[in-house]
Amino acid sequence: MADNDGIRPDWAQKDFYNVLGVKKDAGADEIKKAYRKLARENHPDSNPGDTAKHERFKQVAEAYDVVGDPDKRKKYDEFRAAYGSGFRPGFGGGGTSGYGFGQGGAGGQGINLEDLLRDSGGSGGFGDMFGDLFGGGARRRTTRPRATKGADVESSATISFTDALDGVTISLRLTTESACDTCSGTGGKPGTKPHVCAQCEGTGYVAAGVGGGFSMNETCPACGGRQLVYDQPCPTCHGNGRGASSRTIQARIPAGVKDGQRIRLRGKGAPGENGGPAGDLFVTVKVSGHRVFGRKDDNLTLDVPVGFDELALGAEIRIPTLGGSPVTLRVPAGTPDGRTFRVRGKGATKADGSKGDLLATVKVQVPAVLDADTRAAVEAYRAATADKPLRANLFTQAGA
């Protein structure tokens, strides 16, 4: 939990300078440079499926959020100095503080406990933070419910081969959790009035012991962090304040998407709570096949039927392109069956906007039926090449 100044009790156990790989006295520019380098190396979009780097990215982002902000950094340094100098709640000693700092303030570090606990401008400050940490403090206060990001949503869509190459906007029907329509997310029966939660006294949190004389805050189980409770729960959502909501959204699928690719649409997921941002929508794209063309990475593939004579004597043949004009393929004499020709710039759209290539593979077609003239020509060819057995080397290489 954070207080009104953004201070979190778990800062006591976290060395943000070490996370960023900088010294405690590092300047703002050095901290920013270290953060950008680590963020690039560990960003989830650059490391899909690598949970270790995803977790590392979160740690780096949290560290920079604190030490990259001058005000937060100052409070963080002061709190860490106090905590790391023998701060022991509930063990007495050390004058009027009752927190065991010993003589000379916080372990002789020149930090005045009364200054640390004094509110700044009547709200927030270390007094509130220590109250959160150890269940005490000068006063208890009602805080605003914490803003929570909405849940991420998974969906799938099937698009045509051509739409996958060109990009397309599709309509998706989504069912997600949102605020209950009956109670507007309060969890109470309409027409009834709430009262302050008796268990957390309206803070939304309760203290839970973690051993060693420490206690940490956790969401109040009685009110779910809402701070208010209703004696009569909502008959629709039974008090949880959530309900199913159906909606249709327009999703843009980028050009060049591949079959099975997972697209992330930020802010298109479930709505957040208490003013929090919406979650993300992840769409798994399925691409239908094409009757003529195939795809290999960013290239299109095409099997081109040819005759034996075209490969033996050479030929110029016209082949189609997807969505464009036909092109002429020059086949040299003596081309073997199965050779692939590359036509530049006639493939799929790449991430940078450029085009892949068209890979055209020639395939000899053997006629199933021959007329008299064609049969005579083929028999003449057979007779002319009878003294040139094609399979002589086959037996030699096989050791027969």
Nearest to 269 by CA among 149, 152, 147: 152
* Mean pLDDT on 333-339: 95
| Backbone φ/ψ region at 225: left (φ over 0), alpha (ψ -120 to 50), beta | left
Q: Which residues contact 198 (CB under 8 A, 6 or more apart)?
A: 222, 229
Q: How far apart are CA 98 and CA 225, in angstroms?
A: 30
Tens digit of pLDDT for each residue in 360-398?
999 999 988 999 999 999 899 888 888 877 777 777 777
What percentage of the chain reaches a pLDDT higher than 90?
29
Tens digit of pLDDT for each residue in 206-249?
877 655 556 677 878 877 777 788 888 888 887 777 777 778 88
Residue 70, token pair as written in the block: 């001058």
Q: How far apart are CA 18 and CA 23, in angstroms?
A: 7
* DSSP classification of residue 400: -
What percentage of the chain reaches a pLDDT higher than 70?
78
Q: Which residues contact 152 (CB under 8 A, 6 or more apart)?
A: 269, 270, 279, 280, 281, 282
Q: How far apart are CA 244 and CA 282, in angstroms?
A: 19
Domains 9-134 and 293-384 share a fold: no
Give SS3 for 387: coil
Q: How far is CA 33 from CA 40, 44, 67, 225, in A?
A: 11, 19, 13, 38
The alpha helices in the chain, defined as continuous H runs, are 16-20, 28-42, 51-67, 70-83, 113-117, 125-134, 161-166, 308-313, 372-384, 392-398
For residue 324, the Cα-to-chain-centroid distance in whole angstroms is: 36
The highest-level CATH class for domain 146-177+242-289 is: mainly beta
Start-to-end CA span in the chain (Å): 81
Q: How many residues does the chain have?
A: 400
Q: According to the 3-state scheme, what is the secondary structure of 129-160?
A: HHHHHHCCCCCCCCCCCCCECCCCEEEEEEEC
Give SS3 for 275: coil
Q: Are 271 and 295 in contact (CB under 8 A)?
A: no
More confident residue, 10 or 352: 352
Q: Are 285 and 251 in contact (CB under 8 A)?
A: no
How are strands ordered across the β-sheet holding 153-159? Answer: 153-159, 281-287, 262-265
Mean pLDDT is lowest, of 33-42, 97-106, 154-163, 385-394, for 97-106
CATH superfamily of 9-134: DnaJ domain (1.10.287.110)
Q: How far apart are CA 329 and CA 168, in angstroms?
A: 31
The confidence score (pLDDT) of residue 116 equals 40
For residue 145, the Cα-to-chain-centroid distance in whole angstroms is: 26
How do the domains of the chain map onto residue ranges? 9-134, 146-177+242-289, 293-384
Dihedral sign for Cα 200, 205, 206, 207, please. Answer: negative
Tens digit of pLDDT for each residue in 115-141?
443 443 444 444 444 444 444 443 444
Q: Are 108 and 85 in contact (CB under 8 A)?
A: yes
CATH of domain 293-384: 2.60.260.20
